[in-house]
Structure 1
Amino acid sequence: MTAAARTASARRRGAAGITLLEVLVSVGILALIGTLIYGAFDGMSRARTGIARMSDRYHQGRGAVARISRELQAAFLSRHQPADRNAVVRLTAFTGEDSSTADRVDFTAFAHRRLLRNAHESDQCEIGFFAARDPERSDKLDLVRREAKHIDLEPTRGGVVNVLAEDIESFNVQYLDPVTGEWTDSWDSTQPAAQLDRLPAQVWVTLVLKGGPGDEPIKFETKVTIPMQVPIAFGVSN
């Protein structure tokens, strides 16, 4: 092979190779593309997480208000008591306490669901809705539901308490008095000076949750009509 041929062959081999600068440019482009792809997937993941969290908050609020409405509609009072007052072991009531942050309502209702076969239970129970501090976070207020499957002489105590909605901002309950036609912030069917043996015509429930879009609160509101306006008194002489 002549000297000219060897020189041409070396040039061809050199032209077919990749310089260090080209390698660095290629790596930089790949890194930029990888960064853009990661950012896109990370943004999609964050958006999906945020939408899922927001959906859970709305679902929790709607579920809480729906359950409160359903069980308020089953509220009742009864005048069926033993002739001997010392033998009284049950007290039906409807009480509502007003508070600046979260109100409380306790009542007897036909709302209990018997889950165990042959259980000595009926559909009568005591139910309460109120706010409680989260045991793990003192700054977090939860809406809880209390249910006692047996009615006793303390309609505002006892039973099992479960969280109904987490991290609430406020829980407000108002009552429409069928006698005066006005809304009131409290109710007590056990006191002669209040609304003795009477149920409200309607209950106005307002629940506000924290953590809405743009960190704004989420408000749920409904008015519940109570069908049973007078105590159960069939077979009871006046």
Structure 2
Amino acid sequence: MKRTRGITLIEAMLAITILGMIGGGVYTAFVQTAKNKERIETSLERHRMVAATLDRMQREISMAFVSVHLPTSPSLIRVRPAFVGKGRGWNSRLDFASFSHQRLFLGAKESDQNEIGYFIARHPEDRGRTVLARREQNRIDDDPEHGGRVEILLEDVSGLELEYLDPTTNLWTKSWDTRQATGQMNRLPKQVKIRIKVPDPARPEREITFGTRATIALVYALNHAAYTP
């Protein structure tokens, strides 16, 4: 009768080593897959938030308006819709009147008109971070650049760049002011080019840029007298 030969200690140790290497490789692959999945999900969520921000800005800017109906005496002006774009490069700011206000409470003494501002600001809880801030005042007054409530529209934004397409010259400009006779009195740009710069979620040391354009429907100031039969 032939005796069954057992495995030696060296063979057992070799088998255990091979199994350990296979198990370690499987674990490493699993951990790396989980990290890649988390990184991709974070990147997709960030892209979704940026897209939602641009969509909101596009919608609100497209409903901007100005009006020629003001008191003849400057001291009597209490409401003055305006469109004021300032800043250079990635430090742009825009304040404007719009028909984009949404009434959230029944019986609220509000209309569809509001005053909105977009600008880069320091994070209120971390001064080392910058955010895209949105200011809204649900009643238009004579100061288009102040008032209302400021909230964070998008966190960790390093730059906002806005350009305005002049319908009379068909040229892009970096600023717009409907209040000044030397500016663009009583008229609005045909389009607003919006670009925001944010850190890449996958590589924070690198920045990526997203953009869109808003087309404004009412490029000339409201003038009810012009429509009187």
TM-score, with structure 2 as normaliser: 0.85
Identify the range of structure 1 (50-59 vs 24-33) with the bigger mean alpha-carbon deviation.
24-33
Aligned residue in 2 for 1:228 = 218
1:135 to 1:16, Cα distance in 2 relative to 1, 3 A: farther
Offset of 1:208 from its aligned partner? Answer: 2.0
Offset of 1:185 from its aligned partner? Answer: 0.6
Aligned residue in 2 for 1:195 = 184
**Alpha-carbon distance in 1 for matches of 2:126, 2:97:** 31
**Alpha-carbon distance in 1 for matches of 2:177, 2:187:** 8
Deviations 1:138-178 (A, max 9, x none): 44221121111111121111122222222223211111122
* Aligned partner (choices 84, 106, 125) of residue 95 of structure 2: 106
Contact 1:174–1:204 under 8 Å retained in 2? yes
Offset of 1:105 from its aligned partner? Answer: 0.6
Question: Which structure shows the bigger proportion of residues in helix conformation?
Answer: 1
Counterpart of 2:158 in 1: which secondary structure? Answer: strand
Counterpart of 2:185 in 1: which secondary structure? Answer: coil
Identify the range of structure 1 (15-24 vs 224-233) with the bigger mean alpha-carbon deviation.
15-24
**Alpha-carbon distance in 1 for matches of 2:121, 2:150:** 10
1:217 aligned onto 2:202: no
Give structure 1 stretches of 5+ with no counterpart.
1-11
Offset of 1:201 from its aligned partner? Answer: 1.5
Counterpart of 1:192 in 2: which secondary structure? Answer: coil
1:150 aligned onto 2:146: no
Equivalent positions of 1:60-139 (< 5 A) are 60-82=49-71, 85-139=74-128
Offset of 1:78 from its aligned partner? Answer: 1.6
**Alpha-carbon distance in 2 for matches of 1:220, 1:97:** 20
In the comparison of the two structures, how many residue pairs are matched? 226
2:42 maps to amino acid: R
1:183 maps to amino acid: W
Offset of 1:200 from its aligned partner? Answer: 1.0
Counterpart of 2:188 in 1: which secondary structure? Answer: coil
2:190 maps to amino acid: A
Aligned residue in 1 for 2:148 = 159
Tell me the percent identity. Answer: 36
Equivalent positions of 1:28-39 (< 5 A) are 28-39=17-28
**Alpha-carbon distance in 1 for matches of 2:106, 2:113:** 17
- Greater Rg over alpha carbons, structure: 1
Offset of 1:212 from its aligned partner? Answer: 5.2
Offset of 1:107 from its aligned partner? Answer: 0.3
Offset of 1:80 from its aligned partner? Answer: 2.5
**Alpha-carbon distance in 2 for matches of 1:101, 1:183:** 16
1:204 maps to amino acid: K
1:86 to 1:232, Cα distance in 2 relative to 1, 3 A: same
**Alpha-carbon distance in 1 for matches of 2:124, 2:110:** 31
Offset of 1:136 from its aligned partner? Answer: 4.0
**Alpha-carbon distance in 1 for matches of 2:49, 2:103:** 24
Aligned residue in 2 for 1:59 = 48
1:185 maps to amino acid: K
**Alpha-carbon distance in 2 for matches of 1:59, 1:31:** 42
1:100 to 1:229, Cα distance in 2 relative to 1, 3 A: closer
Counterpart of 2:224 in 1: which secondary structure? Answer: coil
Q: Could you say what the CA RMSD is over the residues aligned between the two structures, in angstroms? A: 2.7
